[in-house]
Structure 1
C-alpha cells in the first residue's frame, strides 16, 4: 500500500534575520504549493532467505529531475550506502529516512520492532514530487512563445521537468543549480518524506483532508514527532542549525514562530561523529524543544501574491553570514537597526491581528471598508469616511502599510551596512511600484531578501490588476496563495489526479 504525504512551501513575511535569535518572532505563511512524498514497499513479498539479511534495498526517484538512486540500508546500524551514481544522491531524503526509522525503533516495543523489521525487509520505494511553483519555469514559458502570465504557468503540466542553470556554473566542474523561487523546497520535501515514512512505518497517524477539512490527529503529539524528525534531518543535511521556521510551517501551517534553542540537536550532531543513530534520535525526541508557535493567518479578504522577477535566486546562508559579520564588526549600529526592525515587525503583526479582530466583530463593516480600499490607492483610503468602525479598519490598514515601509527601510539599511543586496535596487523599484497600486496593502522581499520572488498582499479583488502590471514589468506572477494547512496525508498519487493543489485552487481573474 502506497502512502502519500504532502507538506507546504512558505513565505516569511516578517522576521528576516531576527528570527535566527530567540526570542524574536516571525510571521510565516504556508502556501498551496506542496511537496509530495510517496512511500511504498519495493518488493511484493519477503523472500524466504531474507530473514538472515543484514541490509535492505531503498530506491529513491525524483521524476522532475529525471534522477533515480539505489541504496543499501543496514538494518542494524541504519547506515545508508549509495550503490548507484553519486550524482543522484539527496542528503535531505537520506537523513529523513535514517531518522524516521530510528524514531520508530526508539518508540516501539519488542513486538512492534519485529513488525517493523519485516516491513523494512520488503525494501522502500520513495518518490518525491514538488509543485511547479517551487521552481522557475520562466525559460520554458518564453521558449513556448507564451506571455509571462499566471495563465501561461497554469498551462504547464503538473510536475513539469526541472531545468538546471547550467550556464550559471560557468562551465566549471560543479553541480548545476536548480532555478528556485524561494518557497523552501528542501524543508517541504524533507517534511513530506519524514511524514510519509513515519505514517508508513506506523509511528504516527497523519491528518487527512476530507470535505475541505483536516481530520485526524491535527495538533496531537504525533505531529510533534514529525516536526522533531524533520527539523533534525533538515539541519543535519544542511550542515547547520537554522531557525527552523520553514520546517515548522511545513508541519503545522501558517504561524507566528520563535525558534528552538540549537542545543536540542546536540545528540544528532554527535551521531554524525559516531554516536549510534538510534540513541541520538531517542535523545532528540526527549530533548526540550522550546520553540513557540501560535496559529496565524492573513485577515479575511486579503490575498498573498508572489512574483518572480527573473533575476535568479539568492544564497541565504552566505547572506546570513554577511549580516553576522557586520553585527560583530559594528555592534552598536547593528543593535540599533535590529531594534527598529523588531519594532516594525511587531507593529505589522499587531495591525494584522487587529484587522482579523475587526473582521470578527463586525464583518459587514469590515467587508465594505476592504471593498472600498481595494479600488483606491492608499492615500485615498481614508477619504470620505464617517462611520467610526470603518475608520478603525482603515487606520489599521494604514498602520500595517507604515510598519511594512519601516521593515523595508531597516532591511535596506542592514543590507547596505553588511554589503549584501537584501533589498536590491531593482527590487526596491518593483516593490514601490507595487505598493502604489490600487488595493495593495503590503509588498516586500520575503525571508532573507535578495533576488528571490517578491510578495504582495492585496485587498478584495485587486490582485488581477497587480498581475497585469507585473506582467508588463517582466515579473511572472506565481500560482501561489496562502493555505494555512500544514503536513497531511493525501488519498491519491498526485500524478494520477493530473492536477496540483495550486492549480485547482487558482482563480485567475
Structure 2
C-alpha cells in the first residue's frame, strides 16, 4: 500500500455498570465506564485512479475472513456549487455492511456540507481504510483451544494484538463491549479528521470535534441498527467514562425514518440531511444529551468476563419495554426506586474521590482493610479504624457495597416481574460466589444483563485475581471467560503521526 498520508483514530469500548434499561428514558441516567479495549480506524489517501465523477474507497478488516469491501463514491451535482456523494459497491455480489457504509457516506456528506467543493479535490485520489479492534471485543475461546491454552488472562495476554477470529464477521462471538459503536465512532472520527473537518489534536478545537463526531456517529449507529437506541455506547466511545443522559429521539427521528426507506443516499436524503445537520452541528447546540465526567474511585479495579451462553439484547430490551407498557405503574415504581439507588451509587463514588483528595493516608488504610475482608463482614472488622476521617471513609466503602447490593435486588425483582432474565438465577449464584472473595466490593451484570457477561470491582489486584482463579476458572455451570481490559477514562483520540505510523506498520503485517 503506497499511502501518502494516514490518520489513525481510536475509540474505546464500554461497560454500563448502573442504569441498564433506565438509560432508554431521558428521565434517567446511566453510569458508563470506558475500557482500554479500543477500535482503530486507519484512513489513508492513496493513488487510486479517478474515474470521471467517481473515486474509490477500499475497506479492510483483517480480523475476519470476509472483512473487505470496495466502493465507488459518486459525486452527484445538483445545481451551482451544491452536490452530494453516493456510495456504490464495486460488485453487486458484495455483502453489505450497514455500519461501515452509514459511517462512510454520512461522514463524506458532512464534509461536503461543511467544506464545500474543496473536499472533491481532497478525495480524488481515493481512500484506503483499515479497521481493527482489540482482542477483547471478540471471544478468543476457540483460539486458546487451538493453542491448547487455558481460558485465563495470562493466556489471553499471550495472543498477538488484533489476532484473527478465523471466522466471517456475521459468525463471530462478541463479548458485549460495544464493538459496533466503537467501530462507527472511530471510522466517522477518522474520516472527518483525515479530511480536516475536525481537529482532535488541538485542545482548542477538540471539544467541537468530539461533539460533531458524537452526533454524527449516533445517527449512523441508529441508521445501521434500524432504530433509535439509548446511545450510551456511542457516548462512551467519544467520552470514555461518564454519567450519561440520552438525547431526545425527536432530533433525528424524522430523517432516520426517511433514510431507512431509501436504498442509498439520494437527492431527497441529501435535502433532509442538510436540515438535520443544522441540529447535529455543535455550533447550534440542539443535540441535548447530558455528559458528566466520571471515574471509579482510587484503588477500585474493574474485571470483566464473558459467558459462553449468550443473550439477545434487543429481545431483552423489547420484552422489558413491553412489560413497562402493559404495567406502567408497577414498572415506573420499580424504575424510580432503582434510579434512586443508581444516584446514591454515583454520589458515593464522587464522595470517595473527594475523600481520597482530602486524606489519602486514611483512604489507603481503609482500602487495605476492606481488601482483606469479605464485604458482608466489613462492619465486624473495624477494630483498626480509629480516627474520625477513617470512620467516615469506611462508611462510604460500606455504603457502596450495600447500595449496589440493593441495585442487584431490584434487578432481580425486575427479572421476576418482567419475566426477562436480567439477572437470572444462574447469574445470581455466580455473582454471589464472586462476592464471597475478600476485597470484592461489587459484582453485577452490565447493561441489559442476561447471560452475556458479568463484571466485578475489587479493591486490589489480589482480589480480582482470586475471583478469576478460584471462582471463574472452576465454575461448573457455564464457561466464564475473563477479558484483559480494564477501565480507561480516555475517549476518542487521534494518534500522533509517529504512534499511528508504527501501529500501521504492525497492522499491515496481519494482512
TM-score using structure 1 length: 0.88
Moved more, 184-193 or 243-252: 243-252
Q: Hey, what does 2:10 align to over in structure 1?
A: 6
Identify which of 292, 295, 302 aligns with 2:293. 295
Query: What secondary structure, in the 3-state scheme, does the structure 2 residue paired with 1:64 have?
Result: coil
Distance 1:424 1:496, change over 3 A: farther
* In 1: Cα distance, 2:244 partner to 2:177 partner: 17
**Equivalent residue runs for 1:339-354 within 5 Å:** 339-354=336-351
Distance 1:318 1:163, change over 3 A: farther
Residue 103 (structure 1) aligned with residue 110 (structure 2): yes
Q: Hey, what does 1:321 align to over in structure 2?
A: 318
Query: What secondary structure, in the 3-state scheme, does the structure 2 residue paired with 1:472 have?
Result: coil
How far 1:476 moved relative to its partner?
2.1
Unmatched tracts of structure 1, length 5 or more? 167-174, 208-214, 500-509
Distance 1:69 1:498, change over 3 A: closer
How far 1:86 moved relative to its partner?
4.8
How far 1:281 moved relative to its partner?
4.7
Q: Hey, what does 1:40 align to over in structure 2?
A: 44
Q: Hey, what does 1:257 align to over in structure 2?
A: 244
Checking the alignment, whether the CA contact within 8 Å between 2:297 and 2:349 is kept in structure 1 is yes
Checking the alignment, whether the CA contact within 8 Å between 2:456 and 2:464 is kept in structure 1 is no
* In 2: Cα distance, 1:447 partner to 1:132 partner: 20
**Equivalent residue runs for 1:157-196 within 5 Å:** 157-164=160-167, 176-196=170-190
User: Per-residue CA shift, 1:119-171, capped at 9, x if unaligned?
Assistant: 2111121111010000001122123221111011111111111255x9xxxxx
Checking the alignment, whether the CA contact within 8 Å between 2:226 and 2:260 is kept in structure 1 is no
TM-score using structure 2 length: 0.88
Query: What secondary structure, in the 3-state scheme, does the structure 1 residue paired with 2:117 have?
Result: helix
Q: Hey, what does 1:305 align to over in structure 2?
A: 303
Q: Hey, what does 1:361 align to over in structure 2?
A: 358
Checking the alignment, whether the CA contact within 8 Å between 1:163 and 1:179 is kept in structure 2 is no
**Equivalent residue runs for 1:205-216 within 5 Å:** 205-207=199-201, 216=203
How far 1:465 moved relative to its partner?
1.5
Unmatched tracts of structure 2, length 5 or more? 77-83, 262-267
How far 1:99 moved relative to its partner?
1.2
How far 1:249 moved relative to its partner?
1.1
Checking the alignment, whether the CA contact within 8 Å between 1:444 and 1:454 is kept in structure 2 is yes
Checking the alignment, whether the CA contact within 8 Å between 1:69 and 1:85 is kept in structure 2 is no
**Equivalent residue runs for 1:106-505 within 5 Å:** 106-108=113-115, 113-164=116-167, 176-207=170-201, 216-217=203-204, 220-266=207-253, 268-269=255-256, 270-273=258-261, 274-276=268-270, 278-286=273-281, 288-312=286-310, 314-382=311-379, 383=381, 384=383, 385-461=385-461, 462-469=463-470, 470-473=472-475, 474-490=479-495, 491-493=499-501, 494=503, 496-497=505-506
* In 1: Cα distance, 2:99 partner to 2:278 partner: 20
Checking the alignment, whether the CA contact within 8 Å between 2:6 and 2:42 is kept in structure 1 is yes
Residue 89 (structure 1) aligned with residue 86 (structure 2): no
* In 1: Cα distance, 2:124 partner to 2:407 partner: 53
Checking the alignment, whether the CA contact within 8 Å between 1:308 and 1:452 is kept in structure 2 is yes
Checking the alignment, whether the CA contact within 8 Å between 1:31 and 1:481 is kept in structure 2 is yes
How far 1:94 moved relative to its partner?
0.8
Query: What secondary structure, in the 3-state scheme, does the structure 1 residue paired with 2:456 have?
Result: strand
Checking the alignment, whether the CA contact within 8 Å between 1:308 and 1:478 is kept in structure 2 is yes
Aligned CA RMSD, in angstroms, stands at 2.1
Count of matched residue positions in the alignment of Structure 1 and Structure 2? 473
Q: Hey, what does 2:62 align to over in structure 1?
A: 63
* In 2: Cα distance, 1:80 partner to 1:244 partner: 25
Checking the alignment, whether the CA contact within 8 Å between 1:268 and 1:284 is kept in structure 2 is no
Checking the alignment, whether the CA contact within 8 Å between 2:42 and 2:504 is kept in structure 1 is no
How far 1:272 moved relative to its partner?
4.1
Query: What secondary structure, in the 3-state scheme, does the structure 2 residue paired with 1:300 have?
Result: coil
Query: What secondary structure, in the 3-state scheme, does the structure 1 residue paired with 2:32 have?
Result: strand
Checking the alignment, whether the CA contact within 8 Å between 2:199 and 2:206 is kept in structure 1 is no
Checking the alignment, whether the CA contact within 8 Å between 2:302 and 2:458 is kept in structure 1 is yes
Checking the alignment, whether the CA contact within 8 Å between 1:232 and 1:268 is kept in structure 2 is no
* In 1: Cα distance, 2:346 partner to 2:309 partner: 30
How far 1:176 moved relative to its partner?
4.5
Checking the alignment, whether the CA contact within 8 Å between 1:337 and 1:410 is kept in structure 2 is yes
Query: What secondary structure, in the 3-state scheme, does the structure 1 residue paired with 2:455 have?
Result: strand
Distance 1:406 1:3, change over 3 A: same
How far 1:381 moved relative to its partner?
2.5
Distance 1:310 1:233, change over 3 A: same
User: Per-residue CA shift, 1:307-348, capped at 9, x if unaligned?
Assistant: 123223x22111111011101111221122112211111121
Q: Hey, what does 2:31 align to over in structure 1?
A: 27
